[in-house]
Amino acid sequence: MQKAVINLETLTCPSCIQKIKKAVKNINGIDKDSVEVLFNSSKVKTNFDADAVSIEEIEKAIETMGYPVIRSRVRAA
């Protein structure tokens, strides 16, 4: 498992949290219990199986929802 911290542009509404969570949890290879969206710091934290999904695919799912990704950090969980 890998741990990702994805920095987003500033989130403007609390309902964004649920939209992002749902989009990330629907990706194969995501540890659904680990998905966390931090409103105040505009970050998404999650654990994922690098054999099943790439960080680029996770970023794309978030950006498709309309939330630009600034940068991501990945490390072993």
pLDDT in tens, 18-68: 999 999 999 999 999 999 999 999 999 999 999 999 999 999 999 999 999
Rounded to whole angstroms, how far apart are CA atoms 39 and 47?
18
Rounded to whole angstroms, how far apart are CA atoms 35 and 6?
11
Domain ranges of the chain: 2-76
User: Residue 56 class from Cβ within 10 Å (0-12 exposed, 13-18 middle, 19+ buried)?
Assistant: exposed
pLDDT of residue 13: 85
Rounded to whole angstroms, how far apart are CA atoms 58 and 54?
7
Residue 23, both tokens:
């989009």
CATH architecture of residue range(s) 2-76: 2-Layer Sandwich (3.30)
